[in-house]
Amino acid sequence: MSNNSNKLPDYLASAQPNPKSGRSAWSKNIAPGYAGIMLWFVFWLGLTQSGSGGAGSVFAYGYMLPILSLALAALICFIFYYAVMGIMGQRTGLPLYIVGTSTFGAKGGFFLPGLLMGLLQFGWLAVNIYFSSKAVMGFFDEPSVVLEKGVMIGWGVAAALLGLGGINKVGKVVSKFHWIPIISLIILTVYALPHIKGFDPKAVVALHQQLNPAVGPTLASSAIIFTIMAYVIGFFATAGAAGVDFGTGARDRRDVFMGGVVGIFGAMVFAGGLAVLVVAGAYGNSEVVKQITASGNFVDNAMDMVKILVGPTLGKWMLLLLAIAAFPSACFSSLIAANSIKTTLPKVPPFFSVGIGAAIAILLALFGVAKDLGSVFGVIGASFGPVCGAMAVDYLMAGKRWAGPRVGFNPPGWMAWGLGFIIGILPNFGCAIPAAPFWAMIVGGVVYYLGSKFGLESKVLPYAAADNQAKDE
| Res 167: pLDDT | 45
**Quick one: angle between helices 411-425 and 436-453, nearest 10?**
160
Q: Are 45 and 271 in contact (CB under 8 A)?
A: no
Among residues 127, 330, 150, the alpha carbon closest in space to that of 231 is found at 127
Average pLDDT of the residues of the chain: 91
| Res 5: pLDDT | 60
pLDDT band at 165 (very low <50, low <70, confident <90, very high): low
Mean pLDDT, residues 420-447: 96
* Number of other CB atoms surrounding residue 337 within 10 Å: 28
Instruction: Considering only the C-alpha atoms of the chain, give the largest distance between any 2 of them, rounded to a whole number of Å.
Output: 76
| Res 6: pLDDT | 67
Mean pLDDT, residues 363-376: 93
Q: Are 104 and 112 in contact (CB under 8 A)?
A: yes
| Res 2: pLDDT | 47
Among residues 215, 51, 90, the alpha carbon closest in space to that of 473 is found at 90
pLDDT band at 473 (very low <50, low <70, confident <90, very high): very low
List pLDDT tens digits, range 393-403. Answer: 999 999 999 99
Domains of the chain and CATH, by start: 32-467 (1.10.4160.10)
Mean pLDDT, residues 442-471: 89
pLDDT band at 470 (very low <50, low <70, confident <90, very high): low
| Res 7: pLDDT | 75
pLDDT band at 339 (very low <50, low <70, confident <90, very high): confident
Mean pLDDT, residues 241-258: 94
List pLDDT tens digits, range 169-187. Answer: 444 545 567 889 999 999 9
pLDDT band at 311 (very low <50, low <70, confident <90, very high): very high
Q: What is the rounded distance in angstroms from the CA atom of residue 234 to the CA atom of residue 374?
A: 8
More confident residue, 249 or 115: 249
Q: What is the rounded distance in angstroms from the CA atom of residue 214 to the CA atom of residue 225?
A: 23
Q: What is the rounded distance in angstroms from the CA atom of residue 106 to the CA atom of residue 404?
A: 9
Strand partners, 460: 406
* Number of other CB atoms surrounding residue 286 within 10 Å: 9
Mean pLDDT, residues 21-41: 91
Say if residue 4's pLDDT is above 70. no
Q: What is the rounded distance in angstroms from the CA atom of residue 57 to the CA atom of residue 299?
A: 10
Non-local (6+) Cβ contacts of 282 within 8 A are 192, 195, 288, 299, 305, 308, 309
Mean pLDDT, residues 139-160: 92
Mean pLDDT, residues 44-48: 93
Q: What is the rounded distance in angstroms from the CA atom of residue 290 to the CA atom of residue 381?
A: 39
* Number of other CB atoms surrounding residue 21 within 10 Å: 6
| Res 114: pLDDT | 83
List C-alpha distances in Å: 213 to 205, 206, 307. Answer: 11, 10, 25
Query: Does the predicted TM-score (pTM) go above 0.85?
Result: yes
| Res 168: pLDDT | 47
| Res 344: pLDDT | 67
| Res 86: pLDDT | 96
Q: What is the rounded distance in angstroms from the CA atom of residue 254 to the CA atom of residue 470?
A: 14
List pLDDT tens digits, range 202-245. Answer: 999 999 999 999 999 999 999 999 999 999 999 999 999 999 99
| Res 329: pLDDT | 83
More confident residue, 14 or 271: 271
| Res 451: pLDDT | 97
Say if residue 389's pLDDT is above 70. yes
